[in-house]
Amino acid sequence: MAALSSSTDAARRRPFAADRAGVRVAVRVAPRASRTAVSGLAAEADGGTAVKAAVTAAPEGGRANAALIKLLAAEWGVPKSAVTVTAGAGDRRKTLHVAGDPEALLPALEAWAAGLPGAG
């Protein structure tokens, strides 16, 4: 039973979840930051984990969301058109969807995240 518990805990700590059409990504964004960058992974109050990012754009008219998509698409090496905000468009906590083959995307995203601060 301990193995099941630890694998469940590990899954909750990952910001990524595969679905049929790609991968969902939990993100926490800080708009109006001094620079646009991914700063690591952050623990969420619900026990999950989110990719922590900052963008210089203001959260008005979708500019911060567009800047976030541009940043993460470049980080992940996918087209901007493959990344969409599916939840939290007006919130700092968002769910993004990366369209594509989840069997290829998920390992690539997890390898990318392994090098971030907080991946421990």
Q: Which of 87, 101, 31, 102 is nearest to 60 (CA)?
A: 31
CA distance 83 to 97: 6
Q: Residue 91: which CATH number?
A: 3.30.1200.10
pLDDT of residue 119: 81
In a domain, 120, yes or no: no
Residue 110 lies in a domain: yes
Residue-number span of the structural domain to which 84 is assigned: 2-114
User: How far apart, in Å, are the Cα atoms of 81 and each of 9, 43, 46, 59, 91?
Assistant: 32, 28, 30, 20, 21
pTM exceeding the 0.85 threshold for the entire prediction: yes
Residue 119 lies in a domain: no
Tokens 């905000």 — which residue? Answer: 85
Residue 14 lies in a domain: yes
Mean pLDDT, to the nearest integer, of 5-22?
70
- Please state the domain count of the chain: 1
Model confidence at 1, pLDDT cuts 50, 70, 90, reads very low
Residue 11 predicted with pLDDT over 50:
no
> Can you give the C-alpha Rg of the chain in angstroms?
14
What's the pLDDT tens digit per position in 43-95? 999 899 999 999 999 999 999 999 999 999 999 999 999 999 999 999 999 99
Record the tokens describing residue 41, joined without a space: 């992974």
CA angle 67, 24, 29 (to 5 degrees): 35
- The answer to the question of residue 19 being in a domain is yes
